[in-house]
Amino acid sequence: MKKLLILATLVAWASVAFAELPPLIPRDVLFSAAEFLTPSVSPDGKRIAWLAPDDNHVQQIWMRPLDGGDAKQLSHEKKRPIYQYAWADDNSTILYQQDSDGDENWHLYAIDVATGNVRDLTPWQGIHLDAFRTDRKRPHEVLVGLNLRDRRFIDMHRIDLRTGAVTLDTRNPDDVVAFIADADLVVRGAQATTPEGGHEIRWRADAESPWRVLVRTGPDEVVELVDFSADGKLTDLGYDSPSEDGKTDTATLGVTDTLAPGQSATVTVAKPGTYDYVCQEHPWSIGQLIVQ
């Protein structure tokens, strides 16, 4: 009798618990594309673009005047959603990345916002777009990283948006994993790997100057070139190094550019540690900065 009572109680409790479950969340709420994602205003401030799904639930680029008006679908991808796009600084072009069926061989496409015409700016089979960058000082240019010369290495190229011409800008010496351009869209920084498994940061004064080694680390340390300042005279370095207690010391160092006679510069270190430094003009002049 007790067993029957216990069983009846459990069944009754389960029935009540099941009856009190909330309704299921519709799949579209969890998995459908956002209706208004990554808005971006054109450089002249007249139009706004964003990402949103079309009638087939494929994420596309849309645009309308900033002061109101009807939305216009600019892209018409059939299967793959668009995740990254940007206005070009000519105010008439939107750039976006897309691969083919998930092969991750990214191409760079340009949409004429007036006509809707779409061009593949990198129309070579098997190439990979590493990154692209624009600048208002050069409104008709795009700086891109492409493995066009050799599929193993990324070289930097310039693309003319008016003609589609692709020109080699900076050749990879076959050990650089990332290039960095300054505020004038000039490639002046590089991060490379060494045969020992370490890292090397290189710097040059301008596009015609030779590369100089700024920092070199061993396999147990990681250093990366973050960015140049707006005036092109300061480089930010991210630096990770294992400390004596086994933890990782992380810091961002400001490294000064070439100084004229009588000039000085200041480097601020926010965290105690030991940091390597090198003279850009005299790479053999190296040392360590110990902050306690």
pLDDT tens-place string over residues 245-259: 544 444 444 555 555
Cβ of 165: how many Cβ atoms within 10 Å?
A: 11
Token duo for residue 274: 């030991």
pLDDT score, position 155: 97
The DSSP secondary structure of 182-226, one letter per residue, reads -TTS-EEEEEEE-TTS-EEEEE-SSTTSPPEEEEEE-TT-EEEEE
Phi, psi of 77 (to 5 degrees): -65, 135
| Stated pTM of the model | 0.73
Token duo for residue 285: 């002049």
pLDDT at 214 over 50: yes
How far is residue 256 from each of residues 6, 67, 234, 264, 278, measured CA to CA in Å? 78, 44, 5, 9, 11
Mean pLDDT across 205-234: 81
pLDDT at 138 over 90: yes
Q: At 290, is the pLDDT very low, low, confident or very high (cuts 50, 70, 90)?
A: low
Mean pLDDT across 126-152: 94
Token duo for residue 247: 């933890």
Query: Looking at the DSSP assignment, which residues form a beta bridge with residue 200?
Result: 192, 216
CA atoms within a 13 Å half-sphere pointing along the CA-CB vector of 215: 27
Q: 36 or 119: whose pLDDT is higher?
A: 119
In the chain, what are the domain boundaries? Answer: 174-292
The shares of helix, strand and coil residues in the chain, as percent rounded to the nearest 5, are 10, 45, 50
What is the Cα–Cα distance from 51 to 33, expressed in whole angstroms? Answer: 9
The residue to which tokens 């040392």 are assigned: 287
Phi, psi of 260 (to 5 degrees): -80, 160
Name the percent of the chain lying above pLDDT 70.
73
pLDDT at 185 over 80: yes
pLDDT at 79 over 60: yes
pLDDT at 42 over 80: yes
pLDDT at 237 over 70: no
Q: At 33, is the pLDDT very low, low, confident or very high (cuts 50, 70, 90)?
A: confident
pLDDT at 10 over 60: no
Cα–Cα nearest to 219, from 238, 237, 198: 198
pLDDT at 182 over 80: yes
Q: At 87, is the pLDDT very low, low, confident or very high (cuts 50, 70, 90)?
A: very high
Mean pLDDT across 204-233: 82
- Range name among 65-69, 116-120, 236-240, 269-273 with the lowest pLDDT average: 236-240
pLDDT score, position 234: 58
Express each pLDDT in 48-63 by its tens digit: 999 999 999 899 999 9
pLDDT score, position 72: 95
Express each pLDDT in 145-171 by its tens digit: 999 999 999 999 999 999 999 999 999
Work out the mean pLDDT of the chain and round it to a whole number: 81
Token duo for residue 97: 């990345």
Given phi > 0 = left and psi -120 to 50 = alpha, else beta, which region is 115?
Answer: alpha
Span between the terminal Cα atoms of the chain, in Å: 77
What is the Cα–Cα distance from 108 to 187, expressed in whole angstroms? Answer: 20
